Amino acid sequence: MTGLVQAARQMTRAEVSTLLGMILSAGHRISAGHEAVAMWRASLTGYSLPECLAALVVHNEFSSVAPRPHDLISHIRRARRLVLNERVLAESTARPDPDEAARASNTHMAAIRAAMGWKRPDEHTAALTVACPVLECGAAAGMPCRRTGTARKGRPENRELRKGVHASRTELAAEQHDQAEQAADTLPRKEIPA
């Protein structure tokens, strides 16, 4: 929030003099003496010169009367509220990342399954250890497959609803598991003396 609300910082006399000079150059008749600089400086505590200059532009668009400090403060507060409202609106309407939402869903479902004592089929657990090979799906390891409806070997490649993964993903996981077992079988084994 540093851009929205600044600490109670007072503008320097030079900054206030610049502001008063801009007001005078816009054709307004105001006092620009030492007392006026001190009064404007005290009144505009907490507001920056750029904010005051922007508020002066807005004021001059809608009024021909010379601005007073409270006029500028009113415009600045309105602008700050608009910025804050836009940020809140942007945050409230932002759509979550689908992968992040799926991860959160999986995490919560895993907790529910554990609490209820439900077990996943081993085949499904193994399928989730690899990324889905279906191009339109592309689900990462640990994520459920998306519905694609693409063809695989001439027949539709729909997810197995019970498992939430494509059949080709299950097959890929089984192949990788078989290859790992074969590799483990070919390693020489050391016998441990009894």
Give the pLDDT score at 172: 86
Assess whether 116 and 143 both reside in one domain.
yes
pLDDT for 2 equals 46
Same domain, 174 and 102: yes
Task: Determine the Cα–Cα distance for residues 163 and 124; give it in Å rounded to an integer.
Answer: 6
Question: What pLDDT, on a 0 to 100 scale, did the predictor assign at position 151?
Answer: 55
pLDDT of residue 181: 72
The string of DSSP letters for 62-77 reads H--SPP-HHHHHHHHH
CA distance 50 to 21: 14
- Last residue of some domain: 93, 121, 146? 93
Say how far apart CA 45 and CA 64 lie, in whole Å: 25
- Find out whether 168 and 160 touch, Cβ atoms under 8 Å: no
Report how far Cα 88 is from the mean position of its chain's Cα atoms.
Answer: 12
Mark whether 142 and 89 lie in a shared domain.
no
The whole domain housing 155 covers: 98-186
Residue located via tokens 């150059």:
25
Cα distance between residue 140 and residue 161, in whole Å: 18
Question: What pLDDT is stored for residue 149 in this prediction?
Answer: 61
Give the count of domains, the chain.
2
Assigned domain for 4 exists: no
How confident is the prediction along the chain (194 residues), in pLDDT tens digits per residue? 444 444 568 899 999 999 999 999 888 889 888 999 999 999 999 999 999 999 999 999 888 999 999 999 999 999 999 888 888 877 777 676 777 777 777 777 777 777 777 666 667 777 888 888 888 788 888 888 877 665 556 665 555 555 677 878 888 888 887 787 777 667 665 666 65
Question: Which candidate, 126, 130, 127, places its Cα nearest to that of 140?
Answer: 130
131 within some domain: yes
- Whether 89 and 125 map to the same domain: the answer is no
Which residue spans within 89-139 are E strands per DSSP?
Answer: none
- Say whether pTM exceeds 0.75: no
CA-CA distance, 180 to 44, in Å (whole number)? Answer: 73
Do 89 and 109 lie in one domain? The reply is no
Q: Would 32 be classed as within a structural domain?
A: yes
